[in-house]
């Protein structure tokens, strides 16, 4: 499987290490099922966990399953869980594609906010969103499930537009039930004057 994330570890502080090593009940392994009756939202690549944590708090009717390979961000999300003990948060440390492949329960929503753009031509294969990825999540989602993608990268927007024009798996709609705070990468995009595009896909 081609890697869609960079191998940056970020300098781990002693606090980060404590939470990474903690046997927290919110942490899932491959194949694990989150114990919840709420609709499940998978957040692919929540980054530093700052806005993600706020979204968990302000959308209590949904159960978030945050997936992030970046250890420092993951440690921060575990720290947030251990401090606040929300009953609507589970976490997986690794590649979202591997976790989603390993499970067989209903996913109601997938969010992908500011995926790594991999703007260079030689890196196109590293972009998470591809024809194969859309086919893969389509095969895993139930009818009525939704996917929200947000990006400030013009090349990624062009890439997504092309993919969406040639696919018949999802209907493009506007409404997505879960609110979100402006994230770190969203702020960076705004500071650079980038236009932000949001795509909501519905499995019919």
Ligand X SMILES: C[S@@+](CC[C@H](N)C(=O)[O-])C[C@H]1O[C@@H](n2cnc3c(N)ncnc32)[C@H](O)[C@@H]1O
Site for ligand X (CB under 6 A): which residue of 27, 44, 103, 110?
A: 44
Active site (annotated) includes residue 152: no
Interaction between residue 97 and ligand X (CB under 6 A):
yes
109 contributes a contact to ligand X by CB under 6 A: no
Q: What is the largest CA-CA distance in the chain?
A: 48
Bridge partners of residue 147, in order along the sequence: 110, 201
Stretch that binds ligand X, among 28-36, 77-85, 93-101, 192-200 (CB under 6 A): 93-101
Rounded to whole angstroms, the Cα distance separating 126 from 31 reads 24
Taking residues 115 to 134 in sequence order and writing x for each that binds ligand X by CB under 6 A, - otherwise, the string is xx-----------x------
Minimal distance in Å, beta carbon 185 to ligand X? 3
185 binds ligand X (CB under 6 A): yes
Among 156, 183, 199, 201, binds ligand X (CB under 6 A): 183
d(C-alpha 82, C-alpha 136), whole Å: 33
Nearest to 56 by CA among 71, 47, 44, 43: 43
Distance CA 135, CA 36 (A): 27
Catalytic residues: 116
């Amino acid at each position: 499987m081609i890697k869609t994330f960079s191998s940056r570890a970020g300098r781990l502080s002693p606090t980060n290490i404590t939470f990474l090593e903690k046997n927290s009940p919110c942490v899932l392994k491959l194949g694990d099922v989150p114990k919840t009756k709420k609709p499940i939202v998978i957040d692919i690549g929540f980054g530093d966990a700052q806005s993600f944590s706020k979204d968990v708090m302000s959308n209590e009717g949904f159960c978030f399953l945050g997936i992030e390979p970046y250890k420092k961000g993951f440690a921060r999300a575990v720290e947030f869980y251990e401090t606040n003990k929300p009953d609507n948060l589970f976490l997986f440390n690794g590649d979202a594609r591997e976790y989603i492949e390993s499970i067989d329960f209903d996913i109601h929503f997938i969010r992908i906010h500011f995926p790594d753009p991999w703007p260079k031509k030689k890196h196109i294969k590293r972009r998470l969103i591809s024809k194969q990825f859309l086919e893969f999540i389509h095969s895993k989602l139930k009818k009525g499930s939704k996917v929200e993608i947000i990006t400030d990268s013009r090349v990624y927007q062009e890439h997504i537009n092309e993919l969406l024009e040639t696919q018949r798996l999802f209907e493009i709609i506007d409404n997505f039930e879960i609110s979100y705070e402006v994230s770190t990468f969203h702020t960076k995009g705004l500071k650079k004057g980038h236009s932000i595009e949001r795509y909501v896909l519905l499995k019919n």
